[in-house]
Amino acid sequence: MSSPAASLPGKPHLPVALVEAAQQGERAAIVELLALSQPDIRRYARMTCKVDDVDDAVQDAMWLVYRRIGALRVVTSFSAWLFEIVRRECQRIVRRSLRLAPVETIEDSLAFARWPADDLRLDLASAIQSLPDHYRVIILLRDIEELTINEIAVQTTLTREAVKARLNRARTMIREYLKE
């Protein structure tokens, strides 16, 4: 463990020991880390998001940091990890506001295009719920929470190949459910 005086490179206000304590689940450390990180999160969100989305991105990013600090693998990578979370939240908010599905998840099918949006959402939610747990977890982590394959592999203790296979199978099962 680092000495309490050690701080993250380029971030003298974030002691390594604080990040390590937060990683281990110490609630007071997590709260302090979030309080110290909020100005950086807000500043980066202002540069990355649309003006109207900054507050939402900050709130969502802080919530994700709170929930996932234990998944951080290298303490000195905290800043890069944090900014990646903010960037993803900004992208997610834009997509949500446009109400567009990611292009890579849509097949060239007119059947899906003719579905009313609300019906499609309900059917998609039902399709996801119908998946076996081990597939549902993977699809939610990848397509809803937008984790990378590597992040999912670490979180689920699966190999990258197993994650990819389950993701592919889950998507195939969802397509089959929606076609019926």
Give Rg (Cα) of the chain.
Answer: 19
Q: Is pLDDT larger for residue 20 or for residue 96?
A: 20
Residue 10, SS3 per DSSP: coil
Asked whether 161 and 167 are in contact (CB, 8 A), the reply is: no
Residue 99 has a pLDDT of 56
pLDDT digits (tens, 9 = 90+) for 125-139: 888 888 888 898 998
Q: Does domain 103-179 have CATH number 1.10.10.10?
A: yes
Residue whose pair of structure tokens reads 């990683």 in the numeric block: 23
User: What separation in angstroms does the CA of 122 have from each of 94, 156, 167, 178?
Assistant: 21, 27, 21, 11
User: Could you tell me the pLDDT band of residue 28, with boundaries at 50, 70 and 90?
Assistant: very high
pLDDT digits (tens, 9 = 90+) for 103-153: 445 554 545 555 556 666 777 888 888 888 889 899 888 888 888 888 899
Residue 19 has a pLDDT of 87
Distance between CA atoms of 135 and 168, rounded to whole angstroms? 9
What does the domain layout of the chain look like in residue ranges? 7-98, 103-179
Q: For 7-98, which CATH class?
A: mainly alpha
Of the chain, the percentage scoring pLDDT greater than 90 comes to 8
pLDDT digits (tens, 9 = 90+) for 30-82: 899 889 888 888 888 888 877 777 888 888 888 888 888 888 888 888 888 88
